[in-house]
Amino acid sequence: MLLPGATRREFMKREQENRLPLSWKLLDGMERVVAFVWPSRFRHAVGWWFLLPALALVGILLIGLGYMVQYSLHELDISTYRLRADYSLANFATFLERPVYMRVLVRTLLASVIVTGVTMVLAFPYAYQLVRVRSAAMRKFLLIALFLPFFIGQVVRAYGWLIILGREGLVNGILGQFGIAPLNLLFNYPSVVFGLIQYMLPFAVLLIIPAVAAISEDVELASEGLGANWWATFRHVLLPMARPGLVGAGIVVFTLTMTDFAMPEIMGGGKNDFFASAIYDGFFQLSNPGLGAALSIILVVVGSVIVSGAFFLAGAASLKARGGG
C-alpha cells in the first residue's frame, strides 16, 4: 500500500483515533455488564459484595476453629488412639490436674510481661527519635535498621543469635581472646526473653510511631517553656498523649510473645517451652488431639481475657484522667 506521506500521516492519525475509543468501548462494555448483573436497585449491597471475599477467607479459619472446639470436647481412647464419641470435659480437667501445664503457662506469662516492659522502654525512644530527628539520612538509617529484621523473619534471626551466643560463637570468641572460658549463653530463659525482645521491637516501634507523630512539637516546647525539664515533659506530656498507641503496642507485643513458638523452641533448647510448645506436643508428641485442642482453647481464652482486661483498665484509667481533669 503506497500512500503519499501526508495521506499516510492522515491514515495513522485516524487509526489512532480509532484505537483510542477501543479502550473506551471496553470500559463501556464493562459498565454495561456491571449494570446488567448489578442493577442499581442492588447498589446498596455493593459494600457487602466487596466484603464477601474477605469474609469467606477468614471463614476458613472459623471452620477450623469449630473443629478445634469439637476435638477439645472428646477424650482420647488409649486402647484405639481415637477420640471417643461421647462429649466430656476430661481434656480440660487434665490441664488442671497436671501441674506441668500451669508451670508452662506461668513461665509464658512471666516472659510476656518482661518482654512487653523492656520492649516498650526501647521502642518509645526509638519511635520518638524516628519522628523528631532532623537529618533525613539518619531517619532513613533508623527506618532501614527497623525494617530489615522485620522483613527477615523469626527463624533466620534466631539463627543469627545462635551463632552469636553459641559455644563457638562471637561472644565466646571475644571472651576467649581475654582468656575467659566459654560461657553457656544459650538455651536458657534469659536468652529466649532476649530473642523475643529483639523480635518484638519493630512491631512495637511501628505501632507507637502514629501516636508520637500525632503530638505536635509545639506541645513539648510549651511544656519546656513553662519550666519543665525534658524528663518531666516526657513523663507528664508525651507519655499520657501517646497512651493509646502505647497501650495498643503493648497489647500486641504481649499477645505475640504469649503465643510464640519458634523463639522458645530454638533459643530455649527444649527446657524453656512456652504454651504453644505444649499445644504442639499435645498434638504431635502425645498424639492426643483432644488434649492439644483443649490447650489451644485455653490459650485463646487466657489471651482474650488478658487483652480485654487491659483494654478495660486502659479505658477506665483514661476516663478517670479526663474526669479528674
Partner 1 sequence: MKNAFSKKLVLWSLVWFSVITLSLPTIIVVGASFTAGDIIQFPPEGFSLRWYQKLWELEGFKQALGRTVYVSVICTLLALPVGTLAAIALARYRFCFANLIQVYLMLPFTIPLVVSGISMMIFFGEIRILGKLWPVGVALCLINIPFMIWSVTASINALDPELENASYNCGAPPVQTFFSVTLPSVMPGIITGALLMFILAFNEFLVSLFLTDSRTVTLPVQIYNSIRSVITPDLAAVSVLYIIIALVAIWLLDRLVGLEIFLRSK
Contacts of partner 1 in 25-44 (CB under 8 A) = 27, 30-31, 34-35
Q: Which is closer to partner 1, CB of 3 or CB of 106?
A: 106
Q: Does 315 bind partner 1 (CB under 8 A)?
A: no
Site residues (CB under 8 A) for partner 1, limited to 128-147: 128-131, 139-140, 142-147
Site residues (CB under 8 A) for partner 1, limited to 79-98: none
Q: Which is closer to partner 1, CB of 115 or CB of 266?
A: 266
Quote the longest CA-to-CA distance of the chain: 97
Q: Does 62 bind partner 1 (CB under 8 A)?
A: yes
Site residues (CB under 8 A) for partner 1, limited to 224-243: 229-231
Extract the runs of DSSP E, i.e. beta strands, from the chain.
Answer: 74-77, 82-87
Q: Which is closer to partner 1, CB of 42 or CB of 87?
A: 42
Q: Does 258 bind partner 1 (CB under 8 A)?
A: yes
Per-residue x/- track, 158-187, partner 1 (CB under 8 A): xxxxxxx-x-xxx-xxx-------------
Q: How far is CA 1 from CA 5, 8, 17, 26, 195, in A?
A: 12, 10, 20, 30, 74
Q: Which is closer to partner 1, CB of 4 or CB of 270?
A: 270
Q: How far is the CB of 225 from partner 1 (least distance, A)?
A: 13
Helix, strand, or coil (residue 152): helix
Q: How far is the CB of 57 from partner 1 (least distance, A)?
A: 5
Q: Give the separation between CA 269 and CA 184, rounded to whole angstroms.
A: 12
Q: Does 247 bind partner 1 (CB under 8 A)?
A: no
Q: Give the separation between CA 96 and CA 290, rounded to whole angstroms.
A: 15
Q: Does 71 bind partner 1 (CB under 8 A)?
A: yes
How far out from the chain centre does Cα 135 lie? 30
Q: Does 65 bind partner 1 (CB under 8 A)?
A: yes
Q: Does 46 bind partner 1 (CB under 8 A)?
A: yes
Q: How far is CA 188 from CA 21, 87, 111, 185, 285, in A?
A: 70, 40, 12, 7, 22
Cell digits of residue 167: 559455644
Q: How far is CA 54 from CA 117, 126, 158, 178, in A?
A: 35, 34, 33, 59
Q: Among 74, 75, 83, 157, which residue interacts with partner 1 (rule: CB under 8 A)?
A: 157
Q: Which is closer to partner 1, CB of 75 or CB of 202?
A: 202
Q: Which residues contact 252 (CB under 8 A, 6 or more apart)?
A: 203, 204, 207
Q: Does 101 bind partner 1 (CB under 8 A)?
A: no
Q: How far is CA 218 from CA 89, 215, 243, in A?
A: 59, 8, 18
Q: Among 116, 192, 202, 254, which residue interacts with partner 1 (rule: CB under 8 A)?
A: 202
